[in-house]
Structure 1
Amino acid sequence: MTSALAGFSLGLSLILAIGAQNAFVLRQGLRRAHVFWVVLTCALSDAVLIAAGVAGFGALAEAVPGLETAMRLFGAAFLLWYAGRALRSAWTGGEALTAGEGAGSLRVALLTCLALTWLNPHVYLDTVVLLGAISAQYSDRLAFALGAMTASFVFFFSLGYGARLLAPLFARPLAWRVLDLVIALTMAAIAVSLLAGL
């Protein structure tokens, strides 16, 4: 039980900060667009990464020369592209929240979600390397991993479905413009931090 609680606490602390993936989930939740599939994709992706970290993949990833640099470059390029889209949306505005409106394609939502998850080097550094290293301190690594995975499921489902509580605020176009601006700045800041680490 101690290992599971430690995994849950650490897993939750690593995903609480607003990042590219969380901002996307929040936006999908506000739009009520493919929420179940988006949050399930995020949680399952995290589960795979946690399992890989606990199984020792972090050490393997560190042993491959140039892998981290390539991941940082691809991740930064994608985040800058996404930041540009959000900035353009903030500039043009005109969006307001109407339930069920602007859902877009499920395929596009899932591809964007997967890209924000798997092209982000911070995911590997935090989830695979850090969680994997810390899990070695616990005798029951399986319980630690299950605790961290549970934290991921709880967080993403809460964020995706809890976003609708903010719906009255996002009935106003200005709120969307502010959100898009915050998302653009967050994505750009993450991209810059990735490039600064090269």
Structure 2
Amino acid sequence: MTRDELIDQYFDWMYRLVVDDRYSNKSYRKLFVRLYDTEFVYTIPMDGNRAEDGIALRYRFGREYDYCDAMVAGFLDDRSCSILEMMTALAIRCEEHLMDNPDIGNRTGQWFWNMLTSLGLGSMTDARFNRSYVDAVLERFLDRNYRRNGEGGLFTINDSRFDMRSIEIWYQMNCYLNEIIREGSFV
């Protein structure tokens, strides 16, 4: 297997983790390529944990396909964590560690799409893809120039007592989950 083949397989694996008929019947591949090509840079030190989760996602992929760690490291670890990797890993962590409910099923895609919607990218199908708009949204997110309630970032909180721009992504997600649990809108 070549490096490019492994990267393509990894990308397709991430795409399938969060895109299925329950969340979309349209293609978002152009958006996902842009998310994958954009490095996740952070200003709040604890957000480094989200980057580490994104890097660990590469090895989870490798284990699923029986690729040795050396192969994953040699072919995938030559770059920093991407926004796509960070968001996918965060959606998985949300589902598996906080919101797992066998009666409902796997909602990893739901958590991912909620983040895309909060960012303002939910309508960015291949047919409507606008690279300039996507780049501006991603820059706003990375620079934390979104609204106090998180709108324009990963998580929009209606009644936040915190300025979402100043707290780490993990706590933003927990505020979001607390709100949807209180409202009973998490199914």
- TM norm structure 1: 0.26
The higher relative CO (CA closer than 8 Å, separation ≥ 6) is in 1
Write 1 or 2 for the structure with the bigger share of helix.
1
Using the size of structure 2 for normalisation, the TM-score is 0.27
Structure index of larger Rg: 1
